[in-house]
Structure 1
Amino acid sequence: MKIYSLRNSTCRFAILASVIASPVMFNPALAAAQDGPVSNAQSAPQQDDKARLDEIIVTAQRITENVQKAAVPIAVVSPDTLRKAGVVSPDNLTRLVPALTIASTGGSSMSLFLRGVGNFTLNSTFDSAIAFNYDNVYIPRTSATTGFFYDLERIEVLKGPQGTLYGRNATGGAINILPVKPKLSETSAFVNGSYGNYNSVTLEGALNLPTGDDGAVRISGNLSTRDGYLTDGTSDQDLKAVRFQIMQEIGPDLTVRLAADYSAIRGRGPGATYLESYQFNGAGYTETPSLLDPSIGLLDPRSQAYRRQFFVVPAGRFLNDLEAKQFINNDHYGVNAEINLRTGAGELTIIPSWRKSEQEANTSTLPFQNYNNTQDEHYSIEARFAGDRVGIFDYTLGGIYYHETQDELYVSNQQTLYAYTVYHLKTESLAAFARITANVTDTFRVVAGGRFTHDRKSSDNSFSDTVVIACTTLPTPCLNAPLFNLVPDASLLGISNLPPQGPGGIVPYIDGNGVPQPNVLIIRSPVTAINNSVKKDSFTWRAGVEFDAGPQSLLYATVETGFRVGGLQPVIGFESFQPEKITAYTIGSKNRFWGNRLQLNVEGFVWKYRDQQIAAVGVDGTGTTNFFVQNVGKSTSYGFEVDAQVAATRTTRIGANIQYLHAEYDRFKYDQAVAGPAAPFVGCPTTLGVNSGGNPVYSIDCSGKPSFNSPRWTFNANISQTIPLGSYQIVASADTQYRSSRWVGYDYISGMKQDSTWQSNAQLQFEPVDSSWFIAAYVRNIEDDRYKVNAVNSASSSLISVTTNAPRTYGVRAGVRF
């Protein structure tokens, strides 16, 4: 295995030539393989001899409609595709949706990017640019999104701002996770399981039972366990989840559904490896590759020996080993309901919800030790009314109230620096929205929509406390100077004369036994506290036209705006940040030809961002490595996407999806405090100056650089071939994805650039014609390439760590349904 190597290109192009189909907008139900419940996104295979594509029903625009009639850029992933691809968490979606990049960044955190828009890390102080919705309920923290990927009806990925129908911060897009609902008057069940290398075990099932003629209950569950992909046992999986739903038709016009779910995530969590180190040589920086295989985790003895080679300032000594106590201990649970009332004027839908997350994690992927303990609770209620047509007008009206409280303890141990941060945050949001469609003729429509949103974010004594070890004899080292261990409170650092919290101070180091440490100082920064609130009223809108060019051809053009609320953070020099805004222009065409045997969809887009928020590991106003968000300026993204799928024969399905993306920062400037004697190590021009407090800072200008995680070209392809064998059949399927080079780290350091990559997968499935059971063999990441998905620069240690994709995995799957 080798990081970002484009292995045997001839072999890859041979695979590509023989595998021409898309796993995203391609409907896997058309292949005769079916191993879960039939749903709207996945109708039963055709029983006649005609080759044709089936209908996919979505609710992305808060109404039920054929995806080919929905004038929005959308990718739909069916449950069959999810199971075949082994999707059990959001980061697995990257290989299925060309526009999407999701990566685990350590502990429970994930970074989400859609067409180059997103953040490298997410903490309590800010929100994702990609709204994540489960069962029509907004999930604010990506760390709480893992336990939903089972017994699903479909996943919808909306691209671009959702400024009128979605209530929270959807400047880049939205991911809608929709579970299978109870089926009235039906007794049914299914069980699917798999076993693979790395001792991977998955088990998924559901039971649907009627409660009379007008009601039903559905119980679903999921289990997924796996040994770590890395040699230190990290990047493992230990997930258990369960969901209960009950639905009742109370009368001919009223239906009520109640749902509750719980998920538990354990194990060691995501891991990383050392990519390289760097050193200032007087004129610039020299990068030296670590030469460690990407399978060698940071807690492996080989990585620990590598780490001990590096001298760090200001302590004036070599690093210690990372502490081998990485773990995840997360519990997520919630209750929600959906009430649908049919009236004489239209349909009213009310969705109340309550969710809570309790998360504890210790991680080392950055590459330093971090601990967090988080309590997140939120509730919301949404009401919308889809009115019957009045004259030429269709309309949707609605409103939503959202309330979230967050309490988090976050500890960062960089050995020479100890940072202790406490968050007490509250978010309230109230929004009203409307969308009106004027049916000017039978084939031409004009659409207008708007949303008014009032947001308030407040902080109640959130604060950050930082302690630094400093050697007074530099450049002569202090080789015996102590380094910090990870402890839950600064009082446990073993320092008898620690300056008081609040004002801070500088004192000689005296250990817990009262013994002075020669030439070593303890520096405690003044506490940064935030007791404040910010309010923002925003109006976003959408305008568009739609034209039915034929019975199965749609042309559309839209202009839409969106915003992401600003916020507060206890970070010196970056105590607040402003809202992010976007204007998006889209033109598209959706078509079916050849008697429903060929589908061709084309979309062109231009996205313009202002005050764009970027969240990553950086250096704050004191020169301390920290997590925070900045408004970096403006960016422009434009490109096109073409999706095609073909029912070549009754048993052959082929498709392809290609995306071209040009994403660039028009203005990307920020300041970074001086953390040492040299300029910061970044791949952008720097200028030395002073900040408002008179302290030296470097102005960094990355304007003109490509947006992060924005490959210029992305190509997905797959094929499914059914081979009849009397009362049985074999279904052979394969897919591949190509992504051109992209930046996967915040600092534009050369090692943070990932070269172009291929990844291919294949499966062979045997089943009866009625698909009542199946057995299959699979292999994923046939090339066994371990490419970079996230890179982090630790300025305190001059080390860069990376997380990588999963290695080659293989195994068997089986299932039965009743």
Structure 2
Amino acid sequence: MLRRQYTVSVSAVAMLALALPQLAKAQEEMPPAIGDSDSASVAADGSGDIIVTATKRAESINSVGMSITAAGEDALAQAGVVDTGDLAKIVPGFNFTPSSYGVPVFTLRGIGFYDTSLAAPPAVSVYSDEAPLPYSILTTGASLDLERVEVLKGPQGTLYGQNSTGGAINYIAAKPEDVFGASSEISYGRFDALTLQGHVTGPLGEGVSARAAIRYTRGDDWQRSFTRRDGIGEKDLLVGRLLVDIEPADELRIRLNANGWRDRSDNQAYQFLRVLVNPAALPPELVNYPLAPDTNRAADWTPGFAYKRHNDYYQLSGRVEYTLGSNVDLVSITTWQELDRNGLVDADGTTLRANEYSTPGHLEIFSQELRLSGEAGRFFWLVGGNYQHEKIADSLAATFSNIGVPFDGVDTRNSTIVDTYAAFANLDYELDSGVTLHAGARYSDDRRRFEGCMYDNGSGQLAALLSAIATARNGRPITIPPGACASLDTNFLPDQFRDTLAEDNLSWRLGADYEVGAGKLVYVNVSRGYKSGAFPTSGATYGIQFRPATQESVLAFEAGFKLSLLDRQLQLNGAAFYYDYTDKQFRGKIIDPVLGALNALVNVPKSRVQGAELQIGWTPSDSFSLNLGGTYVGSRIKGSFQNFNAFGQPVDVGGEQFPLTPKWQLTGDAEYGTEIGSGLDAYVGGNFSYQSKQNSGLGALPDLDVDGYALFDARLGVRSHGRGWHAALFVRNLTDKNYVTFVSSASPTLLAQLRGQPRTFGVTIGFDY
């Protein structure tokens, strides 16, 4: 059945690619395609007259008084950005961490939220054409067929539908055109990695146009077992989108969006590091398990199991824009999305079933935003509100039959229902002196209803153990049946843990910017942002271990500049920032009396982040471009805070750097091109990214250190002028850097780590029609 799905997916893309030349021939008498009025060629450094919609209206990026990195379709393709995590290649201060169970974690300027739960609200919010993708796992297919991506740094609670303390990422899809256009592209590389993608666009009738895009990626195993002849790491991802634009009248515009993806890729295997507890309590085969060779590809996992993802996502959204009168617009954005997730993860890096997880889950989200905006003289104003309803079912079925505990696994299940109401307003006022003042506020009311329990996995072993504890505590026989809810309440009786987290907040932003000359802007901002509280998905012999982390807040100060110099050949963007945190959410530890040190959510009362960033874009000629960026982030937990490290030892984490927060991050990209014939250009280029040392958990244990590393990519290609064809050779991780991306302490018994991919290379050929 799986092989049949491969065949259908490849055939669908191949037929599209083969059909496009015939469609193009039929349209050869038509004029060149014209994009939307808001389309623009966007460079990664944000130089030139780039039009962005970060403030919910079209503006030159050099006129927006906040730190933004924008990148267009060409810049994303050249840098090899195919998913949200790849933005670390071009966005200074952005960091991506793979979590233990496959949920990605995004961080901006040191602000992120590491949690593996399906319902963990992120600190960096993501949108697709302003429609929210409230949880990081939903972003898998967001990079398909883009016009550009905009990354906003700092709290973004006043204009966007989700409160966030770290920032916001908005993907802007390439829009339907009112004349025919199409493209197709094929890439093939190491590990038999194959990517087929393409789009077709054009008119469907009077006032109606559409755009369909598809991308299919597959690849063979890239990891190898070092104890037997076996491999893991297959890719199998299909992404599609259909956009339909309808303009029944000059004052009315309707955009319908249907998109989704299907992921059947393997979960990455770990490398075993060492055990954390007394070796005498563990099986000798675990204590004496051999360490993996020091290479990117070496790993291990239990044979005979399919450690794959089985994820399906669908989204429908509708955007209606109606012009009510002179300079007044009404916008409605309605979104429904659904995710079915299942997968099996071997997180111990051995052939033993020492730390294995099944992660079934289901998510449904409905959201509605309605806003009015307009201009009145020197005022630009915006008011609106939104409502969001979420239903999340999350499970974590753990198997650990080789770690010395008196049962072989648990099955944690919970459900969360979230209702969020918000109202927001924003006002910009331009003074005669070239100064523009900004003020915005957003009131949010968030209610999370949670129900969860750790169940016996059917063997009866956990049920028998907790029945004995409940019987001893109550002085009467308590029997928990096999497969039943086993978490004990405050009366030491088995019961579901139920709780409601009701929170509200008022986020705001005040700012001023001054245009000191054409293409030259200085600005200052102060803002208050919030991130919602969250309940964990974790093993819990006692229901109180499901207690939530409450909402966090940050008071952010930022001053920056944007300078276009040397007749717009040189672009300098810089900013300094200071974030003062209250109740920052972290992934800490709690001591389970049966299972030992388990992951838990904690609030640290006081912490801060301070830093600076600089971006340089230099284009001295049409032949050469250079983009450089760097960010320094100094994070610190203030005062004293007691928690437990990965070993279950009590520690004071006061004064520590935030986990998963490198102090230094650098990015760079250079390209040189020259004309080699009539209508043809050749180019050579490359990019690099660097991040300094970081640690994977509270307690600053050396065992959880992730060393700093630099990655280099290279490209060499030929492209025709305008619409035509292009071909390129590419290399990712040119130096074959052997690097660690994450050290996991999810297990109370052992440590394991993930490594980045080795050098890959390939060729890309594409056609525009």
TM range (shorter): 0.7 to 0.9
Q: Verify: 1:810 aligned to 2:728, yes or no.
A: no
Structure 2 counterpart of 1:782, one-letter code: L
* 1: CA distance, partners of 2:141 / 2:487: 42
Q: CA deviation at 1:236?
A: 3.4
Q: Verify: 1:601 aligned to 2:601, yes or no.
A: no
Deviations 1:592-629 (A, max 9, x none): 11111111111111111110111367644655454431
Residues 187 and 208 in structure 1, CA contact (< 8 A), matched pair in contact too: yes
Change in 2 beyond 3 A, CA 1:247/1:42? closer
Residues 261 and 314 in structure 2, CA contact (< 8 A), matched pair in contact too: yes
Tell me which of 95, 105, 130 is aligned to 1:101: 95
Residues 119 and 616 in structure 1, CA contact (< 8 A), matched pair in contact too: no
Q: CA deviation at 1:698?
A: 5.5
Q: CA deviation at 1:456?
A: 0.6
* 1: CA distance, partners of 2:562 / 2:468: 62
Change in 2 beyond 3 A, CA 1:623/1:610? farther
- TM-score normalised by L of structure 1: 0.79
Aligned with 1:249: secondary structure?
Answer: strand
Q: Which runs of 5+ in 2 are unaligned?
A: 1-32, 226-230, 281-286, 350-354
What's 1:9 paired with?
Answer: none
| Aligned length in residues | 697
Q: Verify: 1:758 aligned to 2:758, yes or no.
A: no
What's 2:527 paired with?
Answer: 560
What's 2:22 paired with?
Answer: none
* 1: CA distance, partners of 2:697 / 2:724: 46
Change in 2 beyond 3 A, CA 1:767/1:795? closer
What's 1:535 paired with?
Answer: 502
Residues 377 and 406 in structure 1, CA contact (< 8 A), matched pair in contact too: yes
Residues 37 and 190 in structure 1, CA contact (< 8 A), matched pair in contact too: no
What's 1:401 paired with?
Answer: 387
What's 2:362 paired with?
Answer: 375
* 1: CA distance, partners of 2:36 / 2:667: 24
Change in 2 beyond 3 A, CA 1:439/1:811? same
Structure 2 counterpart of 1:207, one-letter code: V
Q: CA deviation at 1:440?
A: 2.2
Change in 2 beyond 3 A, CA 1:455/1:640? same
What's 1:314 paired with?
Answer: none
Task: Give 1:584-663 correspondences, 5 Å limit.
Answer: 584-615=556-587, 619-620=591-592, 623-663=595-635
Q: Verify: 1:453 aligned to 2:444, yes or no.
A: yes
* 1: CA distance, partners of 2:277 / 2:416: 39
Structure 2 counterpart of 1:59, one-letter code: T
Deviations 1:269-320 (A, max 9, x none): 22221234456699xxx999935334355435xxxxxxxxxxxxxxxxxxxx
Aligned with 2:223: secondary structure?
Answer: coil
What's 1:343 paired with?
Answer: 324
Tell me which of 108, 117, 126 is aligned to 1:114: 108
What's 2:291 paired with?
Answer: 290
* 1: CA distance, partners of 2:709 / 2:75: 22
Q: Verify: 1:359 aligned to 2:341, yes or no.
A: yes
Structure 2 counterpart of 1:531, one-letter code: R
Aligned with 1:123: secondary structure?
Answer: coil
Residues 706 and 742 in structure 2, CA contact (< 8 A), matched pair in contact too: no
Q: CA deviation at 1:426?
A: 0.3
Task: Give 1:243-392 correspondences, 5 Å limit.
Answer: 243-277=241-275, 290=291, 292-296=293-297, 298-300=299-301, 324-344=305-325, 345-365=327-347, 368-389=355-376, 391-392=377-378
Q: CA deviation at 1:752?
A: 2.0
Greater RCO between the two (CA within 8 Å, min separation 6)? 1
Tell me which of 425, 428, 453 is aligned to 1:463: 453
What's 1:705 paired with?
Answer: 656
Aligned with 1:118: secondary structure?
Answer: coil
Deviations 1:8-67 (A, max 9, x none): xxxxxxxxxxxxxxxxxxxxxxxxxxxx99788974699xxxxx9642211111111111
Tell me which of 686, 694, 701 is aligned to 1:734: 686
Residues 128 and 169 in structure 1, CA contact (< 8 A), matched pair in contact too: no
* 2: CA distance, partners of 1:59 / 1:118: 24
Q: CA deviation at 1:96?
A: 2.5
What's 1:312 paired with?
Answer: none
What's 2:10 paired with?
Answer: none
Residues 683 and 716 in structure 2, CA contact (< 8 A), matched pair in contact too: yes
Q: Verify: 1:780 aligned to 2:732, yes or no.
A: yes
Q: Which moved more, 1:196-205 or 1:567-576?
A: 567-576
* 2: CA distance, partners of 1:620 / 1:241: 41
Q: Which moved more, 1:427-436 or 1:698-707?
A: 698-707
Residues 392 and 440 in structure 1, CA contact (< 8 A), matched pair in contact too: yes
Q: Verify: 1:426 aligned to 2:425, yes or no.
A: no
Structure 1 counterpart of 2:375, one-letter code: D
* 1: CA distance, partners of 2:459 / 2:289: 36
Structure 2 counterpart of 1:774, one-letter code: H
What's 1:140 paired with?
Answer: 134
Change in 2 beyond 3 A, CA 1:53/1:281? closer
* 2: CA distance, partners of 1:45 / 1:607: 29
Task: Give 1:218-237 correspondences, 5 Å limit.
Answer: 218-232=211-225, 233-237=231-235
- TM-score normalised by L of structure 2: 0.84
Residues 587 and 697 in structure 2, CA contact (< 8 A), matched pair in contact too: no
Residues 317 and 333 in structure 2, CA contact (< 8 A), matched pair in contact too: yes
* 1: CA distance, partners of 2:343 / 2:632: 38
Residues 502 and 527 in structure 1, CA contact (< 8 A), matched pair in contact too: no
Deviations 1:190-241 (A, max 9, x none): 1112000011111111100212342201111011112233114444321001
Q: Verify: 1:547 aligned to 2:514, yes or no.
A: yes
* 1: CA distance, partners of 2:711 / 2:517: 38
Q: CA deviation at 1:493?
A: 5.7
Q: Verify: 1:150 aligned to 2:144, yes or no.
A: yes
Change in 2 beyond 3 A, CA 1:526/1:86? farther
Percent identical pairs in the alignment equals: 24
Task: Give 1:431-446 correspondences, 5 Å limit.
Answer: 431-441=422-432, 443-446=434-437
* 2: CA distance, partners of 1:618 / 1:153: 45
* 2: CA distance, partners of 1:427 / 1:164: 20
Residues 706 and 743 in structure 2, CA contact (< 8 A), matched pair in contact too: no
Residues 90 and 668 in structure 2, CA contact (< 8 A), matched pair in contact too: no
Residues 589 and 643 in structure 2, CA contact (< 8 A), matched pair in contact too: no
Q: Which runs of 5+ in 1 are unaligned?
A: 1-35, 47-51, 301-320, 466-488, 513-521, 673-679, 683-696
Change in 2 beyond 3 A, CA 1:504/1:223? farther
Change in 2 beyond 3 A, CA 1:496/1:163? closer
Structure 1 counterpart of 2:669, one-letter code: N
Structure 2 counterpart of 1:464, one-letter code: M
Q: CA deviation at 1:327?
A: 1.5
Tell me which of 775, 800, 817 is aligned to 2:751: 800
Change in 2 beyond 3 A, CA 1:287/1:41? farther
Structure 2 counterpart of 1:349, one-letter code: V
Q: Which moved more, 1:489-498 or 1:741-750?
A: 489-498
Change in 2 beyond 3 A, CA 1:498/1:738? closer
* 2: CA distance, partners of 1:43 / 1:392: 26
